[in-house]
Amino acid sequence: MLLGKNDICALIPHEGAMCLLDEVLSWDASRILCRSSSHLSKDNPLRSEDRLRSVCGVEYAAQAMALHGALLSDGPIAAGYLVSVRNLKLQVSYLDDLNDSLTVEARRLMGGAEGFMYEFTVSVRNDMLLSGRLTVSLFQSGKGE
Protein backbone atom coordinates (compact mmCIF):
# COMPACT_ATOMS: atom_id res chain seq x y z
CA MET A 1 0.00 0.00 0.00
CA LEU A 2 1.38 3.38 -1.03
CA LEU A 3 -1.32 5.60 0.50
CA GLY A 4 -4.05 4.91 3.05
CA LYS A 5 -7.51 6.34 3.68
CA ASN A 6 -6.37 9.44 5.60
CA ASP A 7 -3.85 10.35 2.89
CA ILE A 8 -6.52 9.93 0.21
CA CYS A 9 -9.08 12.06 2.06
CA ALA A 10 -6.50 14.85 2.36
CA LEU A 11 -6.00 14.91 -1.42
CA ILE A 12 -9.52 14.72 -2.89
CA PRO A 13 -12.54 16.96 -2.37
CA HIS A 14 -14.55 14.24 -0.54
CA GLU A 15 -14.90 13.86 3.20
CA GLY A 16 -16.10 11.28 5.70
CA ALA A 17 -18.02 8.32 4.30
CA MET A 18 -18.07 9.99 0.87
CA CYS A 19 -14.32 9.34 0.54
CA LEU A 20 -14.83 5.89 -0.99
CA LEU A 21 -11.28 4.68 -1.67
CA ASP A 22 -9.30 2.87 1.02
CA GLU A 23 -5.82 2.66 -0.43
CA VAL A 24 -3.58 3.31 -3.42
CA LEU A 25 -1.82 0.15 -4.56
CA SER A 26 0.26 1.76 -7.31
CA TRP A 27 0.43 4.80 -9.55
CA ASP A 28 2.59 6.38 -12.21
CA ALA A 29 2.26 9.25 -14.71
CA SER A 30 -0.48 7.52 -16.72
CA ARG A 31 -2.49 5.35 -14.31
CA ILE A 32 -3.58 4.68 -10.75
CA LEU A 33 -4.69 1.46 -9.07
CA CYS A 34 -6.80 1.71 -5.90
CA ARG A 35 -8.65 -0.65 -3.59
CA SER A 36 -11.87 -0.17 -1.65
CA SER A 37 -14.21 -2.11 0.62
CA SER A 38 -16.65 0.77 1.18
CA HIS A 39 -19.17 -0.89 -1.16
CA LEU A 40 -19.85 -3.32 1.71
CA SER A 41 -20.59 -0.60 4.26
CA LYS A 42 -24.23 -0.21 5.27
CA ASP A 43 -23.64 3.56 5.68
CA ASN A 44 -22.23 4.04 2.18
CA PRO A 45 -23.78 7.38 1.13
CA LEU A 46 -24.44 6.11 -2.41
CA ARG A 47 -26.79 3.35 -1.24
CA SER A 48 -30.40 3.56 -2.35
CA GLU A 49 -33.15 1.30 -1.01
CA ASP A 50 -30.43 -0.44 1.04
CA ARG A 51 -28.50 -1.47 -2.11
CA LEU A 52 -25.47 -0.14 -3.98
CA ARG A 53 -26.15 -0.19 -7.69
CA SER A 54 -23.24 -0.88 -10.03
CA VAL A 55 -23.54 2.53 -11.70
CA CYS A 56 -22.20 3.96 -8.42
CA GLY A 57 -18.86 2.51 -9.47
CA VAL A 58 -18.55 5.60 -11.68
CA GLU A 59 -18.03 7.64 -8.49
CA TYR A 60 -15.28 5.26 -7.37
CA ALA A 61 -13.56 5.81 -10.71
CA ALA A 62 -14.04 9.60 -10.52
CA GLN A 63 -12.41 9.65 -7.08
CA ALA A 64 -9.48 7.59 -8.40
CA MET A 65 -9.11 10.15 -11.21
CA ALA A 66 -9.15 13.06 -8.76
CA LEU A 67 -6.61 11.29 -6.59
CA HIS A 68 -4.35 10.63 -9.55
CA GLY A 69 -4.56 14.29 -10.55
CA ALA A 70 -3.64 15.33 -7.01
CA LEU A 71 -0.67 12.96 -6.95
CA LEU A 72 0.55 14.30 -10.28
CA SER A 73 0.16 17.88 -8.97
CA ASP A 74 1.86 17.12 -5.63
CA GLY A 75 -1.21 18.25 -3.67
CA PRO A 76 -4.97 18.70 -3.69
CA ILE A 77 -6.58 19.82 -6.93
CA ALA A 78 -9.70 21.91 -7.43
CA ALA A 79 -13.06 20.18 -7.19
CA GLY A 80 -14.70 19.45 -10.52
CA TYR A 81 -17.81 18.52 -12.43
CA LEU A 82 -18.26 15.14 -14.04
CA VAL A 83 -19.26 16.33 -17.51
CA SER A 84 -19.25 13.13 -19.55
CA VAL A 85 -19.62 9.38 -19.07
CA ARG A 86 -18.96 7.42 -22.26
CA ASN A 87 -18.83 3.74 -23.21
CA LEU A 88 -20.19 2.73 -19.80
CA LYS A 89 -20.47 -1.05 -19.55
CA LEU A 90 -22.11 -2.54 -16.47
CA GLN A 91 -21.51 -6.27 -16.00
CA VAL A 92 -23.39 -6.63 -12.68
CA SER A 93 -26.45 -4.98 -11.16
CA TYR A 94 -25.13 -4.35 -7.64
CA LEU A 95 -21.72 -3.84 -6.06
CA ASP A 96 -22.76 -4.83 -2.53
CA ASP A 97 -23.35 -8.45 -3.64
CA LEU A 98 -19.58 -8.88 -3.85
CA ASN A 99 -17.69 -9.76 -0.66
CA ASP A 100 -14.18 -8.98 -1.93
CA SER A 101 -12.51 -5.58 -2.23
CA LEU A 102 -13.04 -3.55 -5.38
CA THR A 103 -10.04 -2.72 -7.53
CA VAL A 104 -10.36 0.60 -9.34
CA GLU A 105 -7.99 1.35 -12.19
CA ALA A 106 -7.97 4.67 -14.03
CA ARG A 107 -5.79 5.42 -17.08
CA ARG A 108 -5.23 9.06 -18.03
CA LEU A 109 -5.99 9.82 -21.67
CA MET A 110 -5.53 13.60 -21.50
CA GLY A 111 -5.56 16.40 -18.99
CA GLY A 112 -4.56 19.89 -17.99
CA ALA A 113 -5.49 22.79 -15.73
CA GLU A 114 -9.11 22.84 -16.92
CA GLY A 115 -9.91 19.14 -16.68
CA PHE A 116 -9.03 15.61 -17.67
CA MET A 117 -10.26 12.41 -19.34
CA TYR A 118 -9.66 8.84 -18.14
CA GLU A 119 -10.64 5.31 -19.05
CA PHE A 120 -11.48 3.16 -16.04
CA THR A 121 -12.34 -0.31 -14.84
CA VAL A 122 -13.79 -1.48 -11.55
CA SER A 123 -13.22 -5.15 -10.82
CA VAL A 124 -13.18 -7.84 -8.16
CA ARG A 125 -10.27 -10.25 -8.47
CA ASN A 126 -10.03 -10.57 -12.27
CA ASP A 127 -13.76 -10.07 -12.93
CA MET A 128 -14.57 -6.72 -14.50
CA LEU A 129 -17.72 -5.18 -13.01
CA LEU A 130 -17.89 -1.95 -14.98
CA SER A 131 -15.79 0.12 -17.34
CA GLY A 132 -16.00 3.34 -19.29
CA ARG A 133 -14.51 6.75 -19.97
CA LEU A 134 -15.01 9.86 -17.81
CA THR A 135 -14.37 13.53 -18.47
CA VAL A 136 -14.11 16.03 -15.60
CA SER A 137 -14.04 19.82 -15.81
CA LEU A 138 -12.22 21.44 -12.88
CA PHE A 139 -13.38 24.46 -10.90
CA GLN A 140 -10.91 27.28 -11.23
CA SER A 141 -10.94 28.20 -7.53
CA GLY A 142 -10.14 26.14 -4.40
CA LYS A 143 -11.23 22.81 -2.92
CA GLY A 144 -14.97 22.22 -2.67
CA GLU A 145 -16.17 25.57 -3.97
- Residue-range domain boundaries for the chain: 5-138
Residue 110 DSSP SS3: strand
Per-residue pLDDT of the chain (145 residues; tens, 9 = 90+): 789 999 999 999 888 999 999 999 999 999 999 999 999 999 999 999 999 999 999 999 999 999 999 999 888 877 788 999 999 999 999 999 999 999 999 999 998 878 899 999 999 998 999 999 999 998 765 444 4
Q: CATH top-level class for 5-138?
A: alpha beta
